[in-house]
Amino acid sequence: MNQAIELDGLARHDLLRVAHEYMLLGMLVNRAMLPQVVLGGGGLDGLNEVAIDEWMGASPVYTKRMRTLMGIEGHGVEAIMKALQLDVGFVHQYMDVAYKLIDDQHGEFWLQHCGALMDAEPHGEDRVFGMCHTIEDPTFDATALATNPRARIRPIHRPPRQPVDRHPHCHWTIVIDEANEPVGPIALTEQVGALAMASVPNAIATSHRSHASAGPVSPVGLADYRGPLQPALRLRDLADPTLAAVAREFQMQSHLLVSSGELTLRERFGREAAAEMTVATATGAGWIASERLAAALGLAADTSGLARLLMLHPMVPPGFDRVVRAEGAQVQLVLTPDVDGLLDPDHAGVPGLLARGEGRGIEAMVHALCPTAAVQVSGERERVVVDAILDPAQPPVKMPDSAALAMIGIAASWTFDTSDVGE
């Protein structure tokens, strides 16, 4: 079963849950990757620099993809705001963002709640300054680059908060001025855009529910985003086929972030160390995403639950046809690339790990649900095969250190309201 078909076939309530989990993945991969920079000797300055490169490399690429998918037209502030609303850097609810469009060259947004700030504040003002000043200044403008390279996003106020309980948490302007020097081009963005994964196609299904579904189809909702800005847009406002396609794009955004991160880590630490840091990212984020997805869908720790988990898991990169077979105590996942070059061992991010037969990321995905499973991963240019055998007699695998580090803060334990009547 293809993952795209599986997403398009989910019942509405499950699709909303999965889409929110896919959107949160961008936060999880950051929380798994960035501590590795510090452990590798990069310190807080190195962490900030890697985070900047990671987002600047990926966000212009994935913003352009989302604009294409959703039919976001124009080059003004409204188009920039629409893209921000569908960006894994602004996870709905975890980031409670409000928008005010003034005209085509001016607008404002502010965060009534910033989960990332809640995670950073306990670590002191240096960490807050690094995130809200050092990282945000270049990366916000890079995100706007895909819409208008002369756009600038600047603070009205931002943390460290004075007073300490100040609300909103931060407040920003978006201004487009033809006198501004254009941002870019960014060399790392060009590298990310040239990756095989960046060319994986995605489209909104014309016929939803391609196989039997456990729930009704939502008859209403936005089919695209060609109309006016919806300042309070939530995922529940999207029609089912659109929501499924947007969820796949969230998955793409997170994987492009991992790939961009590995490219900059190669520059700073060398290829071997960068590969190990990417493994840590995949294991940490993969474990937590498994726990969260299993809880969201009520998956049991058996072959049926594991098969469904692997079919839907967002840390398996986009662009692969997924076939899952469950028989007796064994589950097999076969991944066949849909685009050339995806299983190139030199490909940055998770595709390159899989191409090299590096299985620790997928092992973590499996063990988070079935800790006594024996897992074997084999990779080659044509496909990747994962075999998992559930054996309750084996000692359970413990949570990896990279997942334990990524659990620090509120992102990993964040609870979404995925009802259709209010978030």
pLDDT for the residue numbered 209 = 43
Separation between Cα atoms, residue 5 and residue 208, nearest integer Å: 9
What amino acid occupies position 338? D
Say which residues have a Cβ less than 8 Å from residue 212's Cβ, sequence separation at least 6: 9
pLDDT for the residue numbered 337 = 96
Helix (H, G, I), strand (E, B) or coil at 157: strand
CATH class of 3-198: alpha beta
pLDDT for the residue numbered 183 = 84
Q: Order the strands of the 384-389 sheet from edge to edge.
A: 320-327, 330-337, 384-389, 374-379
pLDDT for the residue numbered 213 = 37
Give domain limits for the chain: 3-198
Whether the Cβ atoms of residue 402 and residue 32 lie closer than 8 Å to each other: yes
Q: What is the pLDDT of residues 155-173, one digit of tens each?
A: 999 999 988 888 899 999 9
Q: What is the pLDDT of residues 236-266, one digit of tens each?
A: 999 999 999 999 999 999 999 999 999 999 9
Whether the Cβ atoms of residue 355 and residue 347 lie closer than 8 Å to each other: yes
Return the percent helix, strand and coil in the chain, to nearest 5: 50, 15, 35
> Tokens in use for 68?
């294409």
Helix and strand numbers (H, E) in the chain are: 14, 8
H helices present in 236-302, as ranges: 240-269, 271-297
pLDDT for the residue numbered 134 = 87
Separation between Cα atoms, residue 397 and residue 253, nearest integer Å: 30
Separation between Cα atoms, residue 404 and residue 296, nearest integer Å: 20
Whether the Cβ atoms of residue 320 and residue 339 lie closer than 8 Å to each other: no
- 133 secondary structure, DSSP code: I
pLDDT for the residue numbered 211 = 36
What is the block-wise mean pLDDT of the chain (423 residues), using blocks of 10 residues? 72 96 97 95 92 94 97 97 97 96 97 90 88 88 89 93 89 95 88 97 74 45 95 96 97 98 97 97 98 97 97 97 95 96 96 95 98 91 94 95 94 91 44
Say which residues have a Cβ less than 8 Å from residue 254's Cβ, sequence separation at least 6: 22, 25, 26, 28, 29, 88, 285, 314
pLDDT for the residue numbered 3 = 57
Phi-psi region of 185 (alpha: psi -120 to 50; beta: other; left: phi over 0): beta
Nearest 5°: the CA angle 102, 105, 107 is 40
Cis upstream peptide for 163 (omega within 30°): yes
Residues for the chain: how many in total?
423
Query: What torsion, rounded to 10 degrees, do the Cα atoms 240, 245, 246, 248 define?
Result: 130
Helix (H, G, I), strand (E, B) or coil at 257: helix
